[in-house]
Amino acid sequence: MRTRILLGVLLAVLITGLVPATALADGGIQGQHVVRSGETLYSIGRAYATRPAAIASTNGISNLNHLPAGVRLAIPTAPWAPIPPGPVATRQFGDPVPPTCRLWHTVVWGETLTLIAWQHNANMWNIARANNIYNLNLIYAGQRLCIP
C-alpha cells in the first residue's frame, strides 16, 4: 500500500512538472541556479561540472543559445569531464572549489592575461577565476596573480 502511494505521489509530481523526469534519470538535482546577465549554459555547466545539454533537457530549453537572465534552472547530476576551457559562472549553491596556485606571477607593464597564460602553460579563464578578474582586459602592473 505504501509503495502505491509513493508511486502515485511521484507520478503526480512528474505530471505537474515540479521535478523534471530527466532529472530522475540522470541521478537527481544538485540545486537551483538563477541565471545572471551574461551567463550561458556552458558557463553554468562549468561551474557545477554538469553537461550543458543535460541542464537544457532538464529545464525544457530548446534553444541552447538563448538564456534570459532571471530564469531559475534545476541543475541535474550529469557529470561533464573533461570540461573545456571558457568562462565560468559564479556558483550559487554547494561548496566552491578553491583554486590551488601552482605559482604566483607579478604582472609587468604591457603583459596581458593571454600572454601570462601562454607563458605559464595555463588557461586564462582559470587564471581569471582564481583571481576574481571579471574583465579579462583589466590587469595592472604590479598585480600578483595566482596561476592555478
Structural domain boundaries, residue 32: 17-92
Q: For residue 11, is it within any domain? A: no
Predicted confidence band of residue 82 (pLDDT cuts 50, 70, 90): confident
Per-residue 3-state assignment (H helix, E strand, C coil) for 27-39: CCEEEEEECCCCC
For 86-96, how does the pLDDT look when each residue is reduced to its tens digit (9 = 90+)? 788 888 988 76
Cβ atoms of 19 and 9 within 8 Å: the answer is: no
Residues 86 and 115 both lie in one domain: no
Regarding whether 88 and 35 lie in a shared domain, the answer is yes
22 plus 85 within the same structural domain = yes
The answer to whether residue 74 scores a pLDDT higher than 70 is yes
Lowest mean pLDDT among 60-64, 68-72, 74-78, 86-90: 86-90
pTM of the model: 0.53
- Tally the domains of the chain: 2
